[in-house]
Amino acid sequence: MKASESKPDTIDSYISTFPEDTQMLLEQMRTTIKKAVPKATEVISYGMPAFKLHTVLVYFAGYKNHIGFYPTSSGIREFQNEIAAYRNSKGAVQFPLDKPLPVKLIKEITLFRVKEDLLNAELKAQKKVKAKKSKTK
């Protein structure tokens, strides 16, 4: 993307900036996540497509040689054995463009992040209730 071009503000516009083969993989990634979490909202965050419930669950992005998947550090830690075959780091895993996306793994990681997000939202709500009760005493 040239400096004079604006950054995409939707996942559709983001995906459209890539070559056709990469677009197909990005759409497959998007569809996999959307099917796993139909209630999630699609957003662009940090310039990347992302899916959000209470917080961002996962991000993904296209590159010259891979699709980056960013399920936060907890998603990487939880699935370290399953992602060992791919280049990965503390917060990301790279799926090469010349291999099929591991759709089942992407779905499992996304669902793990959903459980984590819902639990964290519940804990946060409980803290608010406790804080309100202690203020009224």
- pLDDT digits over 41-68, tens only? 999 999 999 999 999 999 999 999 999 9
- What tokens were used for 6? 């604006």
* Residue 136 pLDDT grade (very low, low, confident, very high; cuts 50, 70, 90): low
Average pLDDT estimate for 1-27: 86
Flag whether pLDDT at 40 surpasses 60: yes
Q: Which residue has the higher pLDDT, 104 or 1?
A: 104
CA atoms within 13 A on the CB side of 76: 16
Looking at 2-6, 65-69, 103-107, which range is the least confident one? 2-6
Cα pseudo-dihedral 96, 73, 120, 105, rounded to 10 = 30
Exposure string of 116-133, with b = 16+ CB inside 10 Å and e = fewer, is bbeeeeeeeeeeeeeeee
Q: Is the pLDDT of residue 93 over 80?
A: yes
Query: What is the percent of the chain where pLDDT is above 90?
Result: 83
Q: How many Å apart are CA 44 and CA 6, to the nearest integer? A: 13
Task: Tell me the average pLDDT of the chain.
Answer: 92
